[in-house]
Amino acid sequence: MPWRGSGSGFSGPLSVIAVSGIALGVVVMVMAVSVLDGFRRDIAGKVVGFGSHLAVTAYEPSPADTENPLAADEATLAAIRATEGVTHVQAFATKGGMVKTPDQIYGIMLRGYGSDWDSSFFAASLVEGTLPRGGNDVLVSTTVARKLGLEVGGKMRTYFWQGNTYRARAFNVSGLYNTDLSDMDGLYAVGALSTVRRLNDWDSLQAGGYEVAVRSLRDIDAVQSRLQSVLPYDMMLTSVVQANPALFSWLDLLGANITLLLVIMALVSSVCIVSALLIMIFEKSSTIGLLKALGATNGSVRRVFLIKACRLVALGVVAGDAVSLALSLVQNRFHLLRLDPESYSMSVVPVSIEPLTYLLVSLGTVAVCLAALLLPTAGISRISPSQTMRVEK
């Protein structure tokens, strides 16, 4: 094609605008999906950290401040652990109590774990001190510590109702944790399963239930279906999604908004490249007429313009991906964009870097732009050599 690249006439500046528009659209789409994935990952990870993916409890209704005792035999526990998709099983028990300080009374839920406790979540959230080592050690949140004036190494006097009386325990605060999940942080203290058993007058084989971890949230439904077939009739299985329906519905609503944003930005990108191509065609109409007069077919001329437009689309997509990756790395490294933990349950904007996100957004953008290019290139067949040469004269 005998033109001097994209630098002549209006097509040069418009090509730059088209590439910039496509790049901007890709950046917005990639960052939107990455931030949404980051929110889902962090929020779901925190909720799962407080109660695992699945919970096996007694089928009978239990009081709000404790669970009915459950004693699973070794055969049942072995069947749970052997179920495909299960990665970890641990016993737990919860007991509601009141923390008493000289000037305040505050309600908490003491979550007790045994020797099989996977402490990685709370270890990652540890702010000060150490994890509980058993006995009367407890781990409390910075939220509770701030409200009650507690500190590492101090005592936390707590009262628990049992029947018609109460029992007092002076716990040793071994450490402070913070997850920014205010509802959970302000409620749970973590201690020893043996302590909860003594408070409830349970024997050493009884627990409030068993937390079951799976590989990822995507596997919950499949694993839950498999476990239902191995559990006895008197045991109930609840997923973290069923236990927190409002939270996961909110995350699904965010996903719907992101879908709408992706559609809008894909249309913006297609408008940018279509506008650039139309200007190229109008600007080179005399050249198109000359090529047709020399025997070029509509298809061959159309391919030349499509190749030119595809190069612009590819350049815009690559530039957009590069900028998105740079922004994601900078945010994850320096945490420039911060959030209010009380409102968002996290202190920084989370950005997930998933190669699949970049691939799908890039392919989707290219597909939409190429589909949109079919309309302006169809106008090439209407350009008559006689008319363009007459105009040229």
pLDDT score, position 324:
97
Max mean pLDDT among 177-181, 248-252, 278-282 falls in 177-181
Q: Answer yes or no: are the C-beta atoms of 345 and 178 closer than 8 Å.
A: no
389 band by pLDDT with thresholds 50, 70 and 90: low
Q: Determine which of 121-130, 224-233, 376-385 has the lowest per-residue pLDDT on average.
A: 376-385
User: What pLDDT band is residue 343 in, cutting at 50, 70 and 90?
Assistant: confident
Q: Give the three-state DSSP class for 358.
A: helix
State residue 270's pLDDT score.
85
Helix, strand, or coil here: 119? coil
H or E stretch at 317 = helix 298-334
Domain ranges for the chain, please list them. Answer: 11-45+248-392, 60-232
Give the distance from CA 14 to its chain's centroid: 37
Report yes or no: 105 and 99 within 8 Å, Cβ to Cβ. Answer: yes
pLDDT tens digits along 148-163: 999 999 999 999 988 7
> Residue type for 112, please?
G
> Which tens digits make up the pLDDT trace of 328-341?
999 999 999 999 98
Residue 167 has pLDDT above 70, yes or no: yes
Q: Which pLDDT score, from 0 to 100, does residue 86 have?
A: 97
Q: Rounded to an integer, what distance in angstroms lies between the CA atom of residue 249 and that of residue 240?
A: 12
What's the CA gap between 3 and 249, in Å, rounded?
55
CA distance 150 to 126: 15
- Average pLDDT of the segment spanning 366-378: 81
In this structure, are residues 205 and 156 in contact, taking their beta carbons and an 8 Å threshold? no
In 3D space, the residue among 182, 141, 142 whose CA is nearest the CA of residue 43 turns out to be: 182
Q: Where are the beta strands (DSSP E) in the chain?
A: 54-58, 86-100, 105-113, 126-129, 137-141, 155-162, 165-177, 188-192, 209-214, 235-239
How high is the pLDDT of residue 376? 76
Question: What's the rounded Cα separation, in Å, for the pair 31 and 332?
Answer: 13
Q: Does residue 384 surpass a pLDDT of 70?
A: no
DSSP codes joined into one string, 242-261: HH-HHHHHHHHHHHHHHHHH
pLDDT tens digits along 50-82: 999 999 999 887 777 788 999 888 999 999 999
Euclidean distance between CA atoms 21 and 202, whole angstroms: 66
Measured between alpha carbons, how far is 136 from 172 in angstroms, rounded to an integer? 6
What's the pLDDT score for residue 153? 96
**Contact 173/140 with Cβ under 8 angstroms?**
yes
- What phi, psi does 201 have (nearest 5°)? 60, 40
The tens digit of pLDDT for each residue in 222-231 reads 999 999 999 9
Q: pLDDT band at 379, cuts 50/70/90? A: low
| Cβ neighbour number for residue 343 with a 10 Å cutoff | 8
Position 11 confidence tier, pLDDT thresholds 50, 70, 90: low
